[in-house]
Amino acid sequence: MKIILSAIILLLIIVAEAGAANRSVTFFSDGAVVELTGVAARGVVEIPLPPGTREDTVRIRPERGTSIQRVDILPLRRDTRGEKELASLIEQRNRLEDRLGTLATREEIFKSAAKSQSSKAPRKTKSNPDPMQSIRQGTDFAITQLEAVYTARRRAEQEIRRIDARIATARKAGAGEDRVARVIVSPRNGRVTARFAMGKAGWTPCYDIRSNGGGNARVTLYGQVPGFFAGYQIRVSPTSLAGAAAERSSVLPAAGQRARLAEYRMATEEEYFGSGPLPSFSFTLKNATGADLPAGEAAIYRTGEYWGAIRFTGISSGRSARLASKAVR
């Protein structure tokens, strides 16, 4: 998700500056809708479509005085520098593999040499008055060469692992599904507004659960948006993309990274808030509302005092759930 939303920032920022004041992202429970205005350069507007864009939702509206001649959905042009870097890394890895093959051959040669030297029977001759010293020198030389081979092989293997990591990163960066809507317009400086939906980029539920200590709690549901985009109007809808299409849904502004979506009054039972040094609490929350509450992080309060955050598993309408701190579980 984070990758998808970062792509919005990186890709949509290249849209002409003249359209910067008309950009918005509306988050739903299962996706987001992006709307932005672009200005043509020499009769062409390019609208980047980040990974996750549903192409069947792309709509492009001409602004006043502009007419659209043609729209093509094309793969986004790749950075040739990235392709060259990947090719260079693969070539480096191939050379290191060749190096390992050569070192394996040298290892066998010096192993054989060391074995041959150590198995020699010492024979004293005029040209070799101290055969034991000659054998030791030959063996030491072979072992020294083997040590050099092992060191070179270890360095080559470490370099291969480092290059493999860089290759994986380069391939991941180039494996996106980025596309671009290329819009031919008239006049040459015409303006268009694009709107499209993205899956897997919706808001995440989170809660404030405030017990009054008297058998009731106020449960506030917020939509946590994945990121805050400078220059974009951020809005949140409490419904899903499909729900928004089927019914008229409200759209709420986001304050920072979250928007208040709903508030409920619920009864509590078996409340326990400990007085020890560690936050210790538990209580049962009864959902008598007509709404199902999804799972999410929940901040717990009692008579205005913050008692910590827990993972809230959610409650279906007409059901109950026990909430407790780690110290009680």
For the chain, what is the largest distance between any 2 Cα atoms, rounded to a whole number of angstroms?
109
CATH, domain 80-173, list 1.20.58, 1.10.3470, 1.10.287, 3.40.50: 1.10.287
**Token duo for residue 221:** 């549901």
Confidence of residue 123 (pLDDT cuts 50, 70, 90): low
pLDDT above 90 coverage of the chain, percent: 32
Strand partners, 74: 180
Q: Say yes or no to pLDDT of 301 above 90.
A: yes
**Token duo for residue 266:** 């619920």
- Note the pLDDT of residue 167: 84
What is the tens place of the pLDDT at every residue in 90-122?
A: 889 899 888 888 888 888 887 787 777 665 555
More confident site: 28 or 126: 28
Q: Say yes or no to pLDDT of 145 above 70.
A: yes
Q: Say yes or no to pLDDT of 249 above 80.
A: no
**Token duo for residue 41:** 């350069």
CA distances from 309 to 9, 264, 284, 294 (A): 30, 19, 16, 16
Confidence of residue 13 (pLDDT cuts 50, 70, 90): very low
**Taking Cα atoms as reference points, which of 324, 294, 328, 287 lies closest to residue 309?**
324
For the domain made up of 2-78+174-199, give the CATH fold: Immunoglobulin-like (2.60.40)
Confidence of residue 133 (pLDDT cuts 50, 70, 90): low
Question: Cβ contacts of residue 306 below 8 Å, gap of 6+?
Answer: 299, 300
**Token duo for residue 162:** 């480092």
Domain ranges of the chain: 2-78+174-199, 80-173, 204-224+260-324
Chain-centroid distance of CA 282 in Å reads: 35
**Token duo for residue 313:** 């598993």
Helices in the chain by DSSP H: which ranges? 2-12, 80-119, 131-173, 241-246
Containing 320, the helix (H) or strand (E) segment is strand 320-324
DSSP 8-state assignment for residue 41: B
**Token duo for residue 231:** 């220059």
**Using CB atoms within 10 A of its CB, is residue 285 exposed (0-12), middle (13-18) or buried (19+)?**
buried
HSE, CB side, 13 Å, CA atoms: give it for residue 47: 28
**Taking Cα atoms as reference points, which of 296, 281, 293 lies closest to residue 211?**
281
**Taking Cα atoms as reference points, which of 191, 234, 181, 193 lies closest to residue 56?**
181
**Token duo for residue 16:** 């002409």
Contact assessment for residue 200 and residue 52, using Cβ atoms and an 8 Å cutoff: yes
**Using CB atoms within 10 A of its CB, is residue 49 exposed (0-12), middle (13-18) or buried (19+)?**
buried
Q: What is the pTM of this model?
A: 0.58
What is the tens place of the pLDDT at every residue in 65-76?
A: 999 999 998 876
- Note the pLDDT of residue 67: 94
What is the tens place of the pLDDT at every residue in 211-245?
A: 998 899 999 999 988 765 567 788 888 888 877 66
Confidence of residue 17 (pLDDT cuts 50, 70, 90): very low
Containing 179, the helix (H) or strand (E) segment is strand 179-186
Residue identified by tokens 């070179």 is: 152
Collapsing DSSP states into helix, strand and coil, what is residue 86? helix
